[in-house]
Chains A and B, each alone.
Chain A
Amino acid sequence: MTASFLGQDYLEIRNLTVDFDGFKAVDGVDITLHQGRLHFLIGPNGAGKTTLVDALTGLVSGTGEATFRHHDLLSMRSHEIVRLGIGRTFQTASVFEQLSVLENLDIAAGLHRSALRSLRARRTVPEPVEQALDTIGLTALAHRPAGILAHGQKQWLEIGMLLVQDAQLMFLDETVAGMSGDERDETGELLKRIVADRTIVVIEHDMEFLRRYADFVTVMHTGTVLAEGSVADVQADQRVQEVYLGTATEAATHG
């Protein structure tokens, strides 16, 4: 499924606008997301980051164009978008707490399973599930209910679920928020491992995490794209400093 695109996967967003009764939460955004890089999406609260992802995953309707593999995402429904190979996480971890880690992953792996086969009980662990367990480091906890996992482990399980559902484009909404320093590092390394043949978009507030792991940064402000580029480019941008790093800039100039 991935091989046919040979690293050419990209999502092209043109003039995307989300209009909530006259309030434009996202206003004419152009972004191109390329495979193989960790693309960070940052901006102050209310900049429209999550709304942008909501529009791209069918949660809210938007106008404009968002083309992925010749499909216009804006005209598709959520589960169809997922079947196209696009997955997302939410700000609050939303694993199925009463199911085991393994069952969580197995359900994520099941979208291409036929109805008849799903009437049978699971006897063996599917290959992708076993791999994902290994990648996210939760093999030893496979049979434990997901509800007992630590916060960071739940977020990794979410990433694992995206892996087994074969998401080529992942939107991670504030995944490292609330994680300890070690968990952040492990998450960053995990993302670096899996990004090679995928496109990963990370919505994040943590500047330290951004500096260490971002390959490309898009800064949003009041629903528009303010600046784009490498971490260094964005940090040097005057406007970004004004709207987003305002206090930090002041501190820098005073100090």
Chain B
Amino acid sequence: MTSTATETSGPPDAAEPETSDEQPSKSLTPSLARRMSSYGSLVGIAILAFVLLVWAPSTLTSFRLGNLGRYCAMALASMGIGLAWGRGGMLVLGQGVFFGIGGYAMAMHMKLEAAGPGGVPDFMTLYGDGTMPGWWEPFRSGPFTVFAIIAMPAVVSFVLGYAILKRRVKGAYFAILTQAMAVAFSTLLVATITQTGGFNGLNSFSTFFGHNLFDPQVQKNVYRLAAGLVIVFLVILWQLYRSRYGELLLATRDGEERIRFLGYDPANVKLVAFMVAAVMASIGGALFVPIAGIISPLDVDASASIFLLAGVALGGRASLFGPVLGAIAVGYGRSTLSENFPTQWSYFLGALFILVVLLLPGGVASLWPMLRARWSSSSEPSRSSSTGDDAVESGDADRVAPAATS
């Protein structure tokens, strides 16, 4: 591709490899084109913000809006998977655990709100002796619950990640470990019916921080909160990906041993991404609860974790927008297909997943750079910008696709 660009464009100002010594040195600051492409992502975020925050609430029925809100909550977890898996090379198969930590924390608070001051959640009198375990008590406080939704996944992922990553567990072993975590977590929830609601999970909430959840305006605001956080975290990830840490994380994914001999401990680099992904999943879970009205072991177990992952793989795990759009598409497909084909819908989704993984390993998001590269090399013979910039841009496109699957 580089050679065709050289032949068809004007005189290159940055040299080809063989003539490098004779050419005057090029400015080392990133080219304008490159900066534009970095800020181009912000335009994409703005468009998505408009669609999610302005267009959708004014157009969709409250049922569809609620569905979209659920997908947004799951997209938060998916974006975290994009960070950990797409950029960090850690195949996280157990994000349901962190989704569940946030979800259950929020559900416990809402359950206690519904029970009133000093009250006990209904299921405890139904299945148990009507006494509440002491560890429920702090969740009466709203601020504590919000704190816990962020702090608990951070602490748990730090301890787990430290133990796993410092031992240099990676690849399939890392994936199996995280998957086992999700199985253990949902089994534990089912087994402790008097404390967590067991298989039924936690449901029948009435208020969200004092606001009546049956009020359509409140529902809309909860949706806005979920969609708004998707946008906020997109901006955070955008900055993370273009930062030096983002470059370092990519380098760790592609050459962990090499990074070690540059003086970094790759475990620390990956641990940060793993923790951020866990907190994002937890926040997603916490917002899922008031929108869906329920959290149960089915929402957090191994197959729920894989559903989160499927959206990321479909959308494009290493790209900024791939995980969000993938999660929304998978969520939408899941609802639509299950409405029309109640029994066969999961086969459709499975087939689509296989097709994408086979034909587009970088996900649907990798289509765009591919098309753009083809377009710019064929339709612009007299392009004035340098071939050096061209290569940088296609380099950016290439890096979206990880070198190898983990």
Taken together as a complex, chains A and B put the C-alpha atoms of A98 and B254 apart, in Å, by 8
Of residues 14 to 47 in B, which have CB atoms within 8 Å of A's CB atoms? 14-15, 17, 20-21, 23, 25-26, 28-31, 34, 38
B263 contact from A94, A123, A165, Cβ within 8 A: A165
B251 contacts the other chain (Cβ, under 8 Å)?
Answer: yes
A153 contacts the other chain (Cβ, under 8 Å)?
Answer: yes
Known: A99-B399, A137-B21. A79 touches B26 (CB 8 A): no
Taken together as a complex, chains A and B put the C-alpha atoms of A85 and B163 apart, in Å, by 28
Of residues 42 to 78 in A, which have CB atoms within 8 Å of B's CB atoms? 57, 77-78
B2 contacts the other chain (Cβ, under 8 Å)?
Answer: yes
Binds B, one of A11-19, A108-116, A229-237: A108-116
User: Min CB distance, A93 to chain B, in Å?
Assistant: 10
Known: A140-B23, A143-B31. A103 touches B247 (CB 8 A): yes
B245→A119 contact, CB < 8 A: yes
Binds A, one of B89-97, B116-124, B388-396: B388-396
B391→A145 contact, CB < 8 A: yes
Chain A residues with CB below 8 A from B264, complex form: 79, 110-111
B240 contacts the other chain (Cβ, under 8 Å)?
Answer: yes
B261 contacts the other chain (Cβ, under 8 Å)?
Answer: yes
Q: Which residue from chain A places its CB closest to the CB of B244 in the assembled complex?
A: A118
Contact with A along B103-124 (1 / 0, CB 8 A): 0000000000000000000000
Contact with A along B375-406 (1 / 0, CB 8 A): 00000000000001101100100110001000
Known: A121-B242, A165-B262. A110 touches B248 (CB 8 A): yes
Q: How many residues of chain A have a CB within 8 Å of chain B? A: 53
A79→B265 contact, CB < 8 A: yes
A108 contact from B245, B257, B262, Cβ within 8 A: B262
Contact with B along A88-126 (1 / 0, CB 8 A): 101000111111101110111011010101111111110
Known: A79-B263, A130-B28. A120 touches B14 (CB 8 A): no
A102 contact from B15, B28, B242, B262, Cβ within 8 A: B28
A205 contacts the other chain (Cβ, under 8 Å)?
Answer: no
B374 contacts the other chain (Cβ, under 8 Å)?
Answer: no
A96 contact from B243, B245, B251, Cβ within 8 A: B251
Chain A residues with CB below 8 A from B128, complex form: none
Taken together as a complex, chains A and B put the C-alpha atoms of A35 and B163 apart, in Å, by 40
Q: Which residue from chain B places its CB closest to the CB of A89 in the assembled complex?
A: B261
Taken together as a complex, chains A and B put the C-alpha atoms of A227 and B389 apart, in Å, by 52
Chain A residues with CB below 8 A from B15, complex form: 140-141
User: Min CB distance, A73 to chain B, in Å?
Assistant: 13
Chain B residues with CB below 8 A from A145, complex form: 391-392, 395, 398-399
Q: Which residue from chain B places its CB closest to the CB of A133 in the assembled complex?
A: B28
Taken together as a complex, chains A and B put the C-alpha atoms of A110 and B247 apart, in Å, by 11
Chain A residues with CB below 8 A from B244, complex form: 106-107, 110, 113, 117-122
User: Min CB distance, A183 to chain B, in Å?
Assistant: 12
Known: A121-B239, A137-B21, A140-B26. A100 touches B392 (CB 8 A): yes
A120→B248 contact, CB < 8 A: no
Taken together as a complex, chains A and B put the C-alpha atoms of A114 and B392 apart, in Å, by 27
B17→A99 contact, CB < 8 A: no
Interface magnitude class on chain B:
35 or more
B26→A106 contact, CB < 8 A: no
Q: Which residue from chain A places its CB closest to the CB of B395 in the assembled complex?
A: A145
Q: Which residue from chain A places its CB closest to the CB of B386 in the assembled complex?
A: A143
B250 contact from A99, A115, A165, Cβ within 8 A: A99
B255 contact from A94, A142, A143, Cβ within 8 A: A94
A184 contacts the other chain (Cβ, under 8 Å)?
Answer: no
Known: A98-B395, A124-B29. A140 touches B240 (CB 8 A): no
Chain B residues with CB below 8 A from A118, complex form: 243-245, 248
A143 contact from B38, B248, B391, B403, Cβ within 8 A: B391
A25 contacts the other chain (Cβ, under 8 Å)?
Answer: no
A144→B254 contact, CB < 8 A: no
Known: A107-B248, A119-B239, A143-B31. A83 touches B2 (CB 8 A): no
A148→B245 contact, CB < 8 A: no
B17→A150 contact, CB < 8 A: yes
Chain B residues with CB below 8 A from A78, complex form: 260-261
Contact with A along B206-247 (1 / 0, CB 8 A): 000000000000000000000000000000000110111101
Q: Which of B14, B30, B31 has the most CB of A within 10 A?
A: B30
B258 contacts the other chain (Cβ, under 8 Å)?
Answer: yes
A144 contact from B247, B255, B261, B388, Cβ within 8 A: B388
Taken together as a complex, chains A and B put the C-alpha atoms of A33 and B263 apart, in Å, by 22
Chain A residues with CB below 8 A from B263, complex form: 79, 82-83, 111, 165
Known: A100-B392, A143-B14, A153-B17. A121 touches B261 (CB 8 A): no
Known: A98-B395, A150-B17, A165-B263. A139 touches B26 (CB 8 A): yes
A87 contacts the other chain (Cβ, under 8 Å)?
Answer: yes
Taken together as a complex, chains A and B put the C-alpha atoms of A150 and B16 apart, in Å, by 11
User: Min CB distance, B29 to chain A, in Å?
Assistant: 7
Q: Which residue from chain B places its CB closest to the CB of A161 in the assembled complex?
A: B262
Taken together as a complex, chains A and B put the C-alpha atoms of A115 and B265 apart, in Å, by 13
Please list the residues of chain B having a beta carbon within 8 angstroms of any beta carbon in chain A.
2, 14-15, 17, 20-21, 23, 25-26, 28-31, 34, 38, 239-240, 242-245, 247-248, 250-251, 254-255, 257-265, 388-389, 391-392, 395, 398-399, 403
Question: What are 20 A-B residue pairs whose CB atoms fall within 8 Å in the complex?
Answer: A79-B265, A82-B262, A87-B261, A90-B258, A99-B247, A99-B250, A99-B399, A107-B247, A119-B243, A119-B245, A121-B242, A123-B29, A134-B25, A139-B25, A140-B25, A143-B392, A144-B392, A148-B2, A148-B391, A153-B17
| Top-4 shortest CB links A-B | A111-B263, A82-B263, A145-B395, A98-B399
Please list the residues of chain A having a beta carbon within 8 angstroms of any beta carbon in chain B.
57, 77-79, 82-83, 87-88, 90, 94-100, 102-104, 106-108, 110-111, 113, 115, 117-125, 130, 133-134, 137-145, 148-150, 153, 161, 165
